[in-house]
Each structure stands twice: as structure tokens, then as C-alpha cells.
A and B are shown apart, each in its own frame.
Chain A
Amino acid sequence: MNEITLRLNDEPARLPAGTPLADALQQWDYAECRIAVAINGEFVPRSAYAERILHDDDRIDIVAPVGGG
């Protein structure tokens, strides 16, 4: 099976080609987390997780709430 290499929070990650974002989040144990996602610097709304297919070299940022001033 073809694999793609991408960056998850600036760390290398590998996935089968054609994986949708929703499946990747499940695989990475984010399913129960309160998070928001951007790919290549663009916000990806939750409603698009299922249809957004990940590609080679995608840069995925996943953020969660923290204390802030």
C-alpha cells in the first residue's frame, strides 16, 4: 500500500495514501479531544474532516485550549 509522509505538529508522521482527516484523527487518538485543526496554515472546520483527504507533505496543526493572557 502506498504511504504518504506528512508533518503532525511539526513531527513526521506516516499514513496510508488516501486517508481522510477524520480517520487520521481517530488513528492518532484525537477522537475524544477538544481540538481544532489547520492544514498547511488553513483552518479545516470539523464538518470537513470526513471528506478532507490528506496528501504527501501536508502540514497539520492540531491545537487545544491552554492558559493565555
Chain B
Amino acid sequence: MDALHDDTLTLYDETFASRFLLGTALYSSPTVMQQAIRAAGCEMVTLGMRRQNPAGGDGDAFWQILRDSGCRLLPNTAGCRSAREAITLAQMSRELFDTPWIKLEVIGDDYNLQPDPFGLLEAARELIDQGFKVLPYCTDDLVLCQRLRDAGCQALMPWGSPIGTGLGLMNRYALQTLRQRLDVPLIIDAGLGAPSQAAEAMEMGFDGVLLNTAVARAHRPALMAEAFAEAIRAGRSGYLAGLMQQRQTASPSTPPLGQPFWHRDGG
């Protein structure tokens, strides 16, 4: 536990003890959300922005709950379909939440909500120039991720699978390649449905996990948040401890030397 105690996540020179980032959508009530955030032990939560009609909505109350949680806020540009839209919404979020952090989303396809790599890169370049701390929600494409890093993104958030699917790590080869080829923090964002999937991501060497639906839509969200938190810690410990190499042939754990009832002549 000591090794894990000193094991922190650094994003844009800021240090986090937790590797679990949690979304704030889809909960049945603000109280349930608060309980889940507490159970997750997370230090950063995502949130969004939507049109508010005159004298309507409860945006201020919602924001106050998140402020009281003590978590750092990571506003998103969810639903934006072009670099221009995402840049404008990021600028609005910086003023609204008084933070330069932005989870940058530029969606390219309605069916699987796949990030648009071209718009994402264009928006990331512009926002980094404007002083934002950009965490891009991206695919697992190696070259895209390299370009985002070269643009100045100090951490990347590749998808495990499409948002809200719970399908887990769909392309292990691509994700493993990202881990081997990139030395910036990598956070698996989207598609995780079970704590075991989060543990697997952490065992592969990913630096953190961001999820929402799997916790918010659980029958008991706080319990699921706790389960994910434990899985993330377990997976991280496993990675730090060093996983054994897999092999095809069996190898006995108990020494064969001195095996009783064994005779050289096979009798």
C-alpha cells in the first residue's frame, strides 16, 4: 500500500491522488450524485453546459453542489460537431467555471459518437494557444494521439469503446500500442461498463479512468462507484507490481523435485 500511497497522477503539473474521474450526468437525483462522488473518492468531475431558458433551470444549484464536493471541475464540449463550436463552448466554460481545464469533444458521427479526429486536432491546437488545459476525448488511433501530443496536449483520453455502451476495451492492440508509444498520461474515457474493465485498463498501464453511465445507471450508484474505485486501485497496483508474461505451456508452481510416489521406471 505504501507504493500506491505515493503514486500520484500528474496532469498539466497538477497532482491527483485519485485516478478515477467521474461524470455528473444521468443520476436519479443530486443526492445520489453526491453519494457517488464521495464513494468514488474522485478529485475531478466532468460537467457540461446546455442552453438555459430565461429564469429557468437549476444550473447554479447544480454547480454549487459540485463546488461543495471539493473536486476540480472538468467542463466538456459534449455534442459539438466542429472545431469552431468546441472552441466557442470552451471559451464559455472558462468564464462560467473559472477554469482553464476542458474535456475537448468534437463528435464526428451520430451513430457511435466517434470523435472527429480532424476537428479535434484543429480545436486542440487553438485552445492550447489560448492557454487551455486540454484533455481531448479521442479515438485509439496512434497517429491522431501523436498529433494531439505534438500539439501540446499533456494528457490524452482515448475511448475504450463508444460512449454509454459498456463494451469495455474494444481494441486492446490499439490501446496497448498507445501505451507503448506515448509517454503522456493516458486516461481511458468512455465505454467502460464493469469494474473489471477498469482494472484491466489500469493493468495495461493506463493512468486513469473516466466514466459516467456505468455508475449513474447502476441500481446502487454509490456502491458501483466504490467498486470502480477499488478496481482502479487494484489494477494500478497490479501494473506497478509487474504482471507475469503469459505463456502457452503449463509450469508447476509446486516444485516437482521430491515428488512422492514417483518412480524412475514409471511403476
**By the criterion CB–CB under 8 Å, are A68 and B76 in contact?**
yes
**By the criterion CB–CB under 8 Å, are A64 and B25 in contact?**
no
- Report if B132 contacts A (CB, 8 A): no
- Report if B91 contacts A (CB, 8 A): yes
**By the criterion CB–CB under 8 Å, are A67 and B48 in contact?**
yes
Which residue of A37, A38, A65, A66 has the most chain B CB atoms within 10 A of its CB atom?
A65
Residues A31-69 near B (CB distance < 8 A): 33-38, 41-43, 45-46, 61-69
Residues B82-118 near A (CB distance < 8 A): 84-85, 88-89, 91-93, 95-97
Give how many A-B residue pairs fall within 8 Å (CB-CB).
113
Instruction: Please report the C-alpha to C-alpha distance between residue A9 and residue B59 in the assembled complex, in whole angstroms.
Output: 16
Q: Could you say which residues of chain A place their CB within 8 Å of the CB of B50?
A: 63-64, 66
**By the criterion CB–CB under 8 Å, are A38 and B163 in contact?**
no
Instruction: Please report the C-alpha to C-alpha distance between residue A5 and residue B46 in the assembled complex, in whole angstroms.
Output: 36
Label chain B's interface by main secondary structure: mixed
Given A34-B63, A67-B23, A69-B213: A61 in contact with B51 (beta carbons within 8 A) = yes
Q: Which of A10, A46, A69 contacts B76 (CB 8 A)?
A: A69
**Which 10 A-B residue pairings sit nearest by Cβ, starting from the closest?**
A68-B48, A64-B59, A69-B23, A69-B212, A36-B92, A64-B52, A29-B55, A67-B25, A43-B91, A63-B49
Interface residue ranges, A against B (CB under 8 Å): 8-11, 28-30, 33-38, 41-43, 45-46, 61-69
